[in-house]
Each structure stands twice: as C-alpha cells, then as structure tokens.
Structure 1
Amino acid sequence: MADRKPVCLVLGAGAGIGGHVGKRFAHGGYHAVLARRSDEAGLQRLVDDIEEAGGEASGRLLDASLPDSIEDLVADVEQAIGPIECAVFNLGAQIGNRDLADTSYKAFELGWRLATFAPFRLASALMPRMEKRGRGSLIVTSATAAVRGNAGQHSHASAMGGRRMLCQTLNAEFGPKNIHVAHIVVDGPVDAPDTLGKMLGEHFEAYKKSKGDDGMIDPAAVAETYWHLAHQPRNCWTHEIDIRPFSNVAWWNDN
C-alpha cells in the first residue's frame, strides 16, 4: 500500500474547471478521483482522456445532496485508492435569477445545501484524516456572489457568502495544523460547455465570439492556478484569490 499515489478528489468534475483540475493533478502524479452528479458517459470520457495521457483516474457518480454520499465517498477513496492529499470542491449552487417572491423556501435551502452544507460535510469527513497525517489541502471554487449580492441572487449570494466564511473558519482552525484551505473567487465567465454552455444553449458560441480573444476564463489555465495553490510553500500560502479575464472589470469596480 506504500506505493499508492496521492489522491486529488474533485467534487464537481464536469468538462470545465473540475475536469481540467483532475487532468492537471493526474499529469502531476496524482490519482484523480472525479465525482459528478450525472452524465456517466461524460465522466468516463474524462477518465479515458487522463488514462490515455498516461495518468491515473477513477470516476464516481455522486449526488451531494443525499445524506452520507460525500462522507461515504471520502471513506471509500481513502480505503480503496489512497490518501486524499488534495480535495477540490467545485460544485455550483446557482438556482437561477429569481425575484424574492419567486424564491421558494425549498429553492433557497437547496442553494445552502449545495454551496455551504456540502463543503462543510466534506471538511467534516476529510479534515480529521488530513490532521492525522499532518498535511493536506482543500481548494474551494467560489463565485462573485460570495463577495457581492446582486438582485435575483438571494439564494446564491447568501449561500456562496456562507461558503466563503466557512473557508475562512476552516483556514483559521486547520492552517496552523499544516492543512492549506484556499477559496477561489471565479469572477467572470468560464468557457465550459456543460455549465455556462448549457445555460446559454444555442447562444453559447455567439457569446464566446462577442468576448473576443482571451475574453473568457480558460478552465485549463484555472487548473494551473489550483495546482500552484496546492503546492505553495507553507511560508507563503494564499487563502483567497480571484480570477477573471484581462478584459473584465473586477467585481469591486463593476457597478
């Protein structure tokens, strides 16, 4: 068992940021465990791409809203594959642009369950294991909504704000124990066919064209940032970083 590769567990491994992070870590010598809610064929394509490039990967279908689903996955991966040295929480929680009157209690709670409670569950299952080993990293993908609440984003903004604060509390507790917690504010459109692409549908290609060269966030480039964060020397750890295309106005200047 001593020759097992370190594991990078990615929750939310679609064709965008999550999938590219898995590919980058596999290229760097990790066994990438890719988990997503649906599209088993797409998940298998990601695994196949990694293996064809000489890396190691496994795919798991996971509904993070179900009780014990995240906890059971962590336990199974640690037992069957290897120690999770880096976990990437990349699940979204966008329920759409809704006025207050159109935001039901159920919809509001769903945003919280996906954006805040799910990473709390991941941390609860994983941090004791990392603490016992004396090392590890947790990288959490976030969004502009974590730092700015816009109209129509009652569920999303409050839930992502909670995600940000959760990361800060985890960092305060576990940073001194050599566990690196990083919160990534993705402040712009990501060139991802199964997230933004699905939202825009037939208008996706026209939208990309309107943004011009390098006008959208390249998920492969984002993956390099995640790799860097996971391997920073601990005397200069980054807790929070924001990412956007060069042509975008930063969230704090965008009125």
Structure 2
Amino acid sequence: MSLIAEVAWVNGVGAVEGLGAALARRFAKGGYKVAVSGRSPDKLKAVVESIQAQDGDAVALPADAGNEADILAAIKAVRELGQLKVAIFNVGNSVSSPSLELSAGLFEQTWRASTLGGFLFAREATRALLENGGGTLLFTGATASLRGKPPFAAFAAAKAGLRSLSQSFAREFGPQNVHVAHVVIDGGINGERLRSHAPQRLEQLGAEGALQLEDIAEAYWYLHTQPRSAWTQELDLRPFKESF
C-alpha cells in the first residue's frame, strides 16, 4: 500500500535567494512534498532544482496570484500531489508612488496581487485543508500591514486587507483545526532583492541588521508545529536593531 504524500504549497516564490524559496526549502527539509507557485517558470525551475539538490521533493506550479483561473489550476495540481497540510501565501508586490500621482490601475494591481490573491489562495487552500482534517495556513505581511505611510498608500491598503483576511479565516476555521497565522516582516530581508538593488542598505544595517532568510523560515516552521492549545495568530519578526 502506497503512502499518500503530505504537501506544502508556497505561493509567491521567486528568486532562489528569496523568502518564498527559503520557506519551500524549510518545509521540504521537514519532509513535505513542496509545490512552489509564482509568475516566473524559470525562477520556479531554479528553486525546484535547488531543493532537489538537497534531496528534497518539489514541484513547480506557475500561477499569477490574482488570477482565479491560475489558482484553480494550481490547487487542482496540488490535490493530485497528495494531501495538502500547509499553505503559505507569500506574495509581496511592494510598490511606491506619491498618493496624488498614484493611478487607479496601479492601486488595483497592488490590491489584486496581495488582497484578492490572498483570498483566492486562502479559499482554495482551506477547502483542501478541511478535507484533509486540518492544517496550517500562513500569510506573509509587512510593516505596511499595520500602518499606512507615504509613498506606500496602495501597498499599505493591500497588506492591511490581507491582514484582516487572515483574521477572518482564523476566526472561522481555527475551530475546524486550521491554524491561520499572519507574519509581519518588519525590516529588510537579506535576500536577492536587497543584495541586487540596495547593497548599500545592507552594508549600513551591519551584522544581523537585516532579517536572515533561514531565520524567517524557521519562524514559519515554528508556527506550523505549535500545539493546538497555544496557537499564535500573528507573529512579528524584526532584527534586534530595528526600531518600532
């Protein structure tokens, strides 16, 4: 009799040295078959190969978070891989624009990726988790989830909406054995984006002044493994040097 694989689905995976990839690696290390989703097939392929190189099991499922047809196709593929037990929505889509120069199109695009995308992902993932007896649903948030600040009006609105969505799902599905948690990432991440676009900022932050990918991933694993008598709904992560 063959064993049914337990699956972790991470949506919002880009560069190998990005948070989505780090989360996928951590859950693969924990014994899960990992499905990775994002908009770039080439980047997903590189992430899958990096996981397989460490004897992990991973599959690429390209999908645009804000496209319902893409998410429906992805969840169908996830179900075919095994039993979904962990679902992580990690889409960022940070944009900046002075409020009076912010177009309706950019505002909607930002909302569609983070808020609508989070809802579509959560809805389909939760359906599968419930069928499998429960599991974990995690959302990646940001400082903007908690406060609006120029020039990030669109991003703050989208991330605040995602945070409220996580609370709604937690209250509705927690009693049905689905652990829903929102993770506030408060600070720069020492990953591909900062290294490529703002290396001077990393240098200014100094040793351990930026969040380390593996340390963030370990916090997500901790949330997944928490006992039901003491579930966390929101966890904020920041370097010890970060003011708040």
TM over 0.5: yes
What residue number does 1:6 align with?
6
Aligned residue runs from structure 1 range 99-248, under 5 A: 99-193=98-192, 195-198=193-196, 201=197, 204-248=198-242
CA distance in 2, matches of 1:65, 1:160: 14
Aligned equivalent of 1:86: 86
CA contact (8 A) 1:5 1:29 kept: no
Aligned counterpart, 1:57 = 58
Distance 1:243 1:166 in 2: 20
> Are the aligned partners of 1:144 and 1:186 in contact in 2 as well (CA < 8 Å)?
yes
SS at match of 1:127: helix
Hey, what does 1:42 align to over in structure 2?
Answer: 43
Q: What amino acid is aligned across from residue 162 of structure 1 in structure 2? A: G
Question: For 1:16-35, what aligned pairs fall within 5 Å after superposition?
Answer: 16-35=18-37
Post-superposition offset of 1:95: 2.0
Any idea what SS the aligned residue of 1:94 has? coil
Q: Is the 8 A contact 1:182 1:239 kept in 2?
A: yes
Q: Percent identity?
A: 34
Tell me the number of residue pairs that the alignment of Structure 1 and Structure 2 aligns.
Answer: 242
Unaligned stretches of 5+ in structure 2? none
Supply the distance in 2 between the matched residues of 1:192 and 1:171 (Cα, whole angstroms).
29
* CA offset digits 1:184-219 (Å, max 9, x no partner): 0000000121x3345xx2xx3222111111011001
C-alpha displacement of 1:4? 2.8
| TM superposition shift of 1:246 | 0.6
Q: Deviations over 1:98-152 (max 9, x none)?
A: 1122111111111111111111111221212222222111110000001011011
Distance 2:194 2:38 in 1: 16
**Structure 1: which amino acid aligns with 2:199?**
E
Q: What TM-score comes out, normalization by structure 2 length?
A: 0.94
